[in-house]
Amino acid sequence: MEQLSFDDFEISKEIKKAVQEIGFEEPTPIQALALPEALAGHDIIGQAQTGTGKTAAFGIPVLEKIFIGDKSPQAIIICPTRELSLQVAEELGRLSSFMSKLHILPVYGGQPIGRQIRVLNKGAHIIIGTPGRLIDHIERGTLDLSGIEIVVLDEADEMLDMGFRDDIEKILRETPTKRQTLLFSATIPKTIERLAKKYQKNPKKLRVAQNIITAPEIEQIYYEAREHLKLELFTRLMDIYDLNLVLVFCNTKRRVDYLVRDLKSRGYDADGIHGDMRQSQRDKVMNKFRQGKVEILVATDVAARGIDVPDVEAVFNYDVPNDNEYYVHRIGRTGRAGKTGYAFTFVAGKEIYKLRDIQKYIKSKIKQNKIPTVKEMKTIKSGLILDRVKKVIEKNNLDKDINAVETLIESGYNSIDVAAALLKMLKEE
Ligand code: ADP
Ligand code: MG
């Protein structure tokens, strides 16, 4: 398929301008598939993994559908969690930054309902929210869905996993049948197919194959480490790679709790999220992580689904995931927006077979490194710093900095000494 550009779609100049300003150069594969169909008014089932740009794939068609002159709700976007509702609201806010008088309202539990009702009374074009709170508003009569033109189900599989099926159906039944319905999901189990059959009209099935894994921005490395060595290995890697924001995956809720406890006792800012925690607790942890107040977030696969935190420097597979697709989902959380990310996988004993399977699935090799000894750590660190130096020289405009160094040279130091001193300072950082 030839590479499309956003100019190839029938979208308003306001949105094109916003897309340009945000810095999206070209549509992602799911956007390239979904935009023409959704803009033409078709129902769609879009399947693509996390981090592939699904929000804009439905967000742009939603924005195009809005008639600003009418202030009643015309679009409703249903998301599994408050965190995701806010992320979607933010992205839509950016995409609509040149559309004036557009009102987007996220509604979710935990926020005072009175305030939401007041905003709803003033009028909102697009409502984004979790199923529970949406139902709450419908039952109170504070949310009128009779003017809805388009409904989006985001992360539909997760919503069903969380037991929102009845709520979703109830919401859909409150909207006019002539509506357009866009469904997005990382996986399409039978339950999703049944839901689609019941509530969509000839949906176009769009699927993006899982090949982004070749993304060069993610450096994938594995270590053979038995359970009792994992914690030590983890702390060495944090040190060597100088990491400040990382996501660690464990296979079970209990392992998340234990690891958080162990990390805290070693003085790290660590916190965990998993499915046994209340939504409000999870939100609290996520917010701290997002703001960098927690440097290590330990999670299970399900709890971390769909979460997009842009500056994650590394993902650790503390356990090899049980499902090949999980591996892809997990490591896709780093290396965002053109930055380099690391994906470290700890392999204990027989897990090596699972790892072989993963490599076959992603059609690429994962490099093996030996657990660095304390002595080796220093050498590796210097090597990494020198790599960074090379990259800066190749990329940046250094004029000002060169001037500063020159003043040192003029006062009698030689450039090698200056460079060595800077390297020493960096290592001691
Ligand atoms: P998903 O919902 O599929 O997990 P998101 O919609 O959250 O993915 O997008 C992931 C990240 O990619 C976001 O930071 C988003 O701003 C960015 N993004 C989306 N579309 C593009 C694009 N066309 N080019 C570059 N970055 C994009
Ligand atoms: Mg999403």
For a substitution probing ligand 1, which of 308, 312, 329, 336 has the most ligand atoms within 8 Å of its CB? Answer: 308
For ligand 1, atom 22, name the residue with the nearest CA: 24
Ligand 2 center–CA 360 separation, angstroms: 27
**Comparing 181-185, 203-207, 412-416, which segment has the lowest mean pLDDT?**
412-416
Let me know: does 233 contact 379? Beta carbons within 8 Å: no
Q: Which of 19-33, 46-60, 109-123, 140-154 has the highest mean pLDDT?
A: 140-154
Nearest-angstrom CA–CA distance, 238 and 244: 8
Nearest-angstrom CA–CA distance, 241 and 262: 20
Ligand 1 center–CA 307 separation, angstroms: 11
Cβ-based neighbours of 198, under 8 Å, separated by 6 or more: 169
Let me know: does 61 contact 150? Beta carbons within 8 Å: yes
pLDDT tens sequence across 309-332:
778 899 999 999 988 888 988 888
Nearest-angstrom CA–CA distance, 248 and 45: 31
- Structural tokens at position 165: 């099926």
Residue 184: beta bridge partners? 46
Q: Which ligand is nearest to the CA of 90?
A: 1
Q: Tokens 């939401």 correspond to what residue?
A: 116
Nearest to 111 by CA among 72, 88, 83: 83
Average pLDDT over residues 28-54: 92
SS3 324: helix
Give the containing element (helix H, strand E) for 263: helix 253-265
pLDDT at 337 over 70: no
Sign, Cα dihedral of 182, 184, 190, 195: negative
For ligand 1, atom 26, name the residue with the nearest CA: 24
Centroid of chain to Cα 228: 31
Atom of ligand 1 nearest to the CA of 6: 23
Give the pLDDT of residue 92. 97
Ligand 1 center–CA 284 separation, angstroms: 23
Nearest-angstrom CA–CA distance, 115 and 223: 51
Ligand 2 center–CA 58 separation, angstroms: 10
Ligand 1 center–CA 79 separation, angstroms: 16
Ligand 1 surroundings by CB, under 6 angstroms:
24, 27-28, 31, 48, 50-56, 91, 306, 308, 310
For ligand 1, atom 10, name the residue with the nearest CA: 51
Architecture in CATH of 214-375: 3-Layer(aba) Sandwich (3.40)
For a substitution probing ligand 1, which of 22, 55, 157 has the most ligand atoms within 8 Å of its CB? Answer: 55
For ligand 1, atom 25, name the residue with the nearest CA: 24
Looking at the domain that runs over 6-211, which CATH code has it been given? 3.40.50.300
Nearest-angstrom CA–CA distance, 376 and 371: 9
Ligand 2 center–CA 306 separation, angstroms: 5
Nearest to 210 by CA among 31, 1, 50: 50
Q: Tokens 């794939």 correspond to what residue?
A: 57
Stretch(es) of the chain classified as CATH 3.40.50.300: 6-211, 214-375
Give the pLDDT of residue 214. 46
Ligand 1 center–CA 23 separation, angstroms: 11
Query: Per this entry, what is the length of the chain?
Result: 429
Percent of the chain with pLDDT over 70: 96
Nearest-angstrom CA–CA distance, 152 and 22: 23
Q: Which ligand is nearest to the CA of 94?
A: 1
Cβ contacts of 161-167, under 8 Å, gap ≥ 24 = 161/302, 162/80, 164/80, 164/131, 164/132, 165/191, 165/195, 167/131, 167/132, 167/134, 167/135
Query: What CA–CA distances, in Å, run from 288 to 98, 181, 372?
Result: 31, 34, 31
- Structural tokens at position 340: 């380099």
Ligand 2 center–CA 21 separation, angstroms: 21
pLDDT tens sequence across 360-415:
888 788 999 999 888 888 888 888 888 878 877 877 777 888 888 888 888 888 88
pLDDT at 58 over 60: yes
pLDDT tens sequence across 250-291:
999 999 999 999 999 999 999 999 888 888 888 889 889 988
Q: Which ligand is nearest to the CA of 5?
A: 1
Let me know: does 384 contact 241? Beta carbons within 8 Å: yes
pLDDT at 213 over 50: no
pLDDT tens sequence across 83-99:
899 999 999 999 999 99
- Structural tokens at position 60: 């742009």
Give the pLDDT of residue 252. 92
pLDDT at 225 over 80: yes
Ion ligand 2, residues whose Cβ is below 5 A away? 54
